[in-house]
């Protein structure tokens, strides 16, 4: 298996983007990534587009994006893995290069969620579980799913709503320094607590927004990467797992087992001690679609013991200078969550952090040269944990 590196990154502005079409939005990220890599569309051998779709007007987004970005004729396909779509697309391109099927690939994650009314988007996301059992019979929406996790966690471990709000406060703090974020403004715990309930105890400010956005990375084999840049960011390990579509079949609401399994797989490949992974990492981007999801991520990734994830937030240990800085981009909560773009956006953020190319106020101290992306699809239906490194994998 050949080594694979990121050699170019691109990122659109996230938000409500009525000003552009889906292919135009994708191109905002693609042109940045190609320019940074120092390549042209003709150099790309494979294009993988991450797009969950359903709410936007383009039924064939890969073909449309390819054409608009000057890639017509190149092999392309669309990948979907719910909210983990971006990471699944990245893995597909990574595996093609690792297997020798391509030397240079473009990964684009793009979503235009605001082309549909909010109730329609909420319904489509709610269908991401087991449609006939959970949505049709019980009317579960995505906030409803995560409310089950939150109530179970609070009852079992004694966490309070205010504790969960700390994740939103932190992520808005870093988003305020990110010019590409959907909500680049700070909030307080009081703001979060005063926001209206969506599904108790989940409130509006516990929730990620409905976002339009795009992100892109150029991936290269080792031979090509060495020719293009003296600072490649290597994809050191990818762990992937899945779980039941019906959450009533799961044994716990205190964890996302697929995320834990994906993390253990990635740690094994990267030779990271699963008992103390934070010591080997400089930062992490985790899937905080709701504040409880960030807390569960701390525990599933081994950053905290079971029942103690919320304490990391209370103690400020996931800010810069803490045990492990988390979501310095603003996370899904404040940077935004354009579903197909989220996993690729995480890759862009970590690559730029490792290379020191982010805004000073939200720049992590890089000592180990490693960052982790934790991307969950649905309520743990899919999970991808990807480790990025400045050092070539062994």
Catalytic positions are 83, 337
Measured over the CA atoms of residue 216, residue 373, residue 174 and residue 340, the dihedral's sign is positive
Strands, sheet with 212-221, edge to edge from the N-terminal-most edge strand = 76-79, 46-50, 104-112, 212-221, 4-11, 233-242, 382-389, 370-377, 283-285
Tell me which residue has tokens 């490693």.
Answer: 370
The beta-carbon contacts of 70-77 under 8 Å, at least 24 apart in sequence, are: 70/41, 70/42, 71/41, 71/44, 71/47, 71/106, 74/41, 74/44, 74/45, 74/46, 74/47, 75/45, 75/46, 75/47, 75/102, 76/46, 76/47, 76/48, 76/49, 77/48, 77/49
Interstrand relation of 283-285 and 370-377 (parallel, antiparallel or unpaired): parallel
Phi, psi angle pair for 286, to nearest 5°: -120, 160
Non-local CB neighbours of 183 within 8 Å, separated by 6+ positions:
172, 175, 209, 330, 334, 335, 336
303, 312 in Cβ contact below 8 A?
yes
DSSP state of 161: H
Give the tokens for residue 244: 């039941």
Of the candidates 344, 364, 326, 11, the residue with the CA atom closest to the CA atom of residue 170: 326
């Amino acid at each position: 298996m050949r080594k694979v590196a990121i050699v170019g990154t691109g990122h659109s502005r996230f938000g409500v983007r009525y000003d552009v079409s889906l292919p135009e939005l994708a191109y905002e990220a693609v042109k940045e990534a190609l320019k940074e890599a120092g390549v042209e569309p003709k150099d790309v051998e494979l294009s993988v587009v991450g797009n969950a779709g359903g709410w936007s007007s383009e039924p064939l987004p890969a073909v449309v994006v390819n054409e608009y970005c000057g890639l017509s004729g190149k092999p392309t396909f669309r990948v979907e893995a719910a909210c983990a779509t971006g990471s699944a697309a990245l893995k597909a391109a990574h595996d093609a290069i690792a297997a020798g099927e391509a030397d240079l690939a473009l990964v684009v994650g793009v979503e235009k969620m605001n082309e549909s009314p909010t109730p329609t988007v909420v319904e489509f996301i709610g269908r991401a579980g087991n449609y006939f059992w959970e949505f049709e019979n019980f009317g579960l929406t995505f906030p409803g799913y995560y409310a089950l996790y939150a109530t179970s966690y609070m009852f079992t471990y004694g966490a309070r709503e205010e504790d969960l709000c700390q994740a939103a406060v932190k992520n808005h703090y870093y988003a305020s320094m990110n010019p590409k974020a959907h909500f680049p403004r700070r909030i307080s715990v009081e703001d979060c607590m005063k926001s209206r309930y969506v599904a108790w105890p989940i409130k509006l400010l516990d929730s990620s927004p409905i976002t339009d956005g795009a992100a892109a990375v150029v991936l290269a084999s080792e031979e090509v990467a060495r020719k293009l840049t003296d600072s490649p960011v290597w994809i050191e390990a990818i762990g992937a797992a899945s779980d039941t579509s019906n959450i009533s079949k799961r044994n716990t609401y205190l964890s996302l087992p697929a995320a834990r399994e994906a993390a253990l797989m990635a740690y094994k490949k990267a030779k990271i001690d699963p008992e103390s992974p934070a010591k080997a990492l400089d930062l992490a981007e985790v899937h905080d679609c709701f504040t409880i999801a960030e807390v569960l991520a701390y525990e599933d990734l081994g950053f905290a013991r079971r029942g103690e994830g919320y304490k990391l937030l209370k103690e400020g240990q996931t800010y810069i200078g803490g045990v492990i800085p988390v979501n310095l981009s603003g996370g899904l909560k404040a940077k935004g969550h354009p579903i197909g773009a989220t996993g690729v956006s995480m890759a862009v953020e970590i690559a730029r952090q490792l290379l020191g190319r982010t805004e000073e106020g939200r720049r992590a101290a890089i000592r180990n040269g490693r960052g982790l992306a934790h991307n969950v699809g649905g309520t743990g239906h899919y999970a991808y944990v990807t480790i990025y490194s400045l050092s070539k994998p062994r």
